[in-house]
Amino acid sequence: MEEILTQSEENYIKAIFSLYQQTNAPVSTNDLAERMETKASSVTDMVRRLSEKSLLLYTKYKGCELTKEGERTALKTIRKHRLWETFLVEKLKFGWDEVHDIAEQLEHIRSVKLTDQLDAFLDFPKFDPHGDAIPDKNGEIVQREKSCKLSDLELESEAIVIGVADGSPSFLRYLDKHQITLGTKLVIKERFEFDDSMEVELNDTILSLSSAASSKITVQLV
């Protein structure tokens, strides 16, 4: 079969994959429209097309979910996206806040050999610059043991930053400014009930974090 998909189709597939992961329920037309920054009517059209290509199952008024084939497609695109992000940061010296939009384009380049050679060139990385797992050639992804949100940690616990739940440039630059990056070790020194903010120690300094910030930082206890 080996269907050739347009960039738009690949973007939709990725969005459906990601929305489905959040709820484990069929993705609604409206949710998808919001994610894709388009109109519900456009989504209905596209979902019909993708269903026609048996990349997803669609029932009128009931939303859609990917087929096995659709999932494979999503994982291929995600693999490429994250490999390119890794390339941009590791080899081309981009900041982790600058790579998403470019990877959003690069992920659509069609060449299995390119993807696999890039993977090898990068030494088969398991995680991208934001801590997200990179699917391997077969779509397999490393499952991480016991990670949690920084905001969930108790007083005096020590943890290492392993990811971010928000990849927006503004948030990433905020983290940069405060010297928080993947691998940063921190200790919870204080927690304030009234606004769920906390103070953490890192690099021998104390940093105050809002609940909005701490809930978007993924950590692992040391």
End-to-end alpha-carbon separation of the chain, Å?
Answer: 47
Q: Which does 47 bind (CB under 5 to 8 A by kind): a second copy, Mn ion, DNA, none?
A: DNA
Contact call for residue 114 and a second copy (CB under 8 A)? yes
Q: Tokens 């990349």 correspond to what residue?
A: 55
Contact call for residue 117 and a second copy (CB under 8 A)? yes
- Give the contact letters, 62-101, x = binds to DNA (CB under 7 A), - = no: -x--------------------------------------
* 3-state SS assignment for residue 45: helix
16, 19, 29, 79: which one contacts DNA (CB under 7 A)?
Answer: 29
Q: Which of residues 5-24 bind DNA (CB under 7 A)?
A: 6, 8-9
Q: How far is CA 111 from CA 5, 71, 78, 203, in A?
A: 13, 19, 14, 43
In the chain, % helix, strand, coil (3-state, to 5) comes to 45, 20, 35
Q: Which does 104 bind (CB under 5 to 8 A by kind): DNA, Mn ion, a second copy, none?
A: Mn ion
Give CA–CA dist 153/150, Å, rounded.
Answer: 6
- Give the contact letters, 34-73, x = binds to a second copy (CB under 8 A), - = no: ----------------------------------------
Q: Which residue, among 18, 17, 14, 39, has the nearest Cα to 29 in the 3D structure?
A: 39
Give CA–CA dist 76/180, Å, rounded.
Answer: 30
Nearer to DNA, 60 or 113 (CB): 60
Q: Which does 61 bind (CB under 5 to 8 A by kind): DNA, Mn ion, a second copy, none?
A: DNA
13, 15, 19, 47: which one contacts DNA (CB under 7 A)?
Answer: 47
